[in-house]
Chain A
Amino acid sequence: QVQLVQSGAEVKKPGASVKVSCKASGYTFPSYAIHWVRQAPGQGLEWMGWINGGNGNTKYSQKFHGRVTITRDTSAITAYMELRSLRSEDTAVYFCARDPRTLSSGWGFDYWGQGTLVTVSS
């Protein structure tokens, strides 16, 4: 069965960077895109960007452009999301999610990771 397992909670100081991992299993990793979504406390869901599991192409939300980098390691069947220059407003749960559309993206998300809480505090 398809599973996405994320790394554990992180506490970071303002200005630092965080890198969250998302390990996939149960499907052919290069055939699907992985998206990253976040949710601040008490707020709605927010799309951050995605990576093509095969060729590594990425696309980011304009809101995060320049601060976020999404990468993948096909040998480790893992996607990563790095967010830099952290501020308190980046405190949120970060989710990875698979796009159900093979070899492309845009159909939404079918499987989700369990979420990773990132707390930014001095």
Chain B
Amino acid sequence: QTVVTQEPSFSVSPGGTVTLTCGLSSGSVSTSYYPSWYQQTPGQAPRTLIYNTNTRSSGVPDRFSGSILDNKAALTITGAQADDECDYYCVLYMGSGISVFGGGTKLTVL
């Protein structure tokens, strides 16, 4: 069974840029996986940042961008702020109606 992989944790300095990735245990991620990205603070529903690789969800600032980098989906955050510190999840569409979440990345801003 293919696993969706994310960095368990990452840190970034305030004002800095960070790129989180979303890969496959076997194979490469392409736009055909329609990668999407979500932000979640404890106790809250997830917030959609990016869907269909690089489409920003309504109200999401352009500090957040999605792409494919080195055979992985990528979420880049520029100008990191304190309230960007939370968990980030990716989802890949595996075909045949099946979607799979990555394990999530805990982002620290310090």
Using a CB–CB distance below 8 Å, which chain A residues touch chain B?
35, 37, 44-47, 50, 59, 61, 95, 97, 100-101, 105-115
Contact = CB atoms under 8 A, between A and B. Distances in A.
Chain B, interface size category, equals: 20 to 34
Given A95-B45, A108-B36, A110-B57, 15 more contacts: A37-B101, A44-B103, A47-B91, A59-B98, A97-B46, A101-B52, A106-B93, A106-B99, A107-B51, A107-B93, A108-B34, A108-B93, A109-B48, A109-B51, A109-B91
A45 B89 contact: yes
Nearest to A112: B45
29 contacts: A44-B87, A44-B101, A44-B102, A44-B103, A45-B46, A45-B101, A46-B101, A47-B91, A47-B99, A47-B101, A50-B99, A95-B45, A100-B51, A100-B57, A105-B97, A105-B99, A106-B99, A107-B51, A108-B34, A108-B48, A108-B52, A108-B93, A109-B46, A109-B91, A110-B48, A112-B46, A112-B47, A112-B48, A114-B45
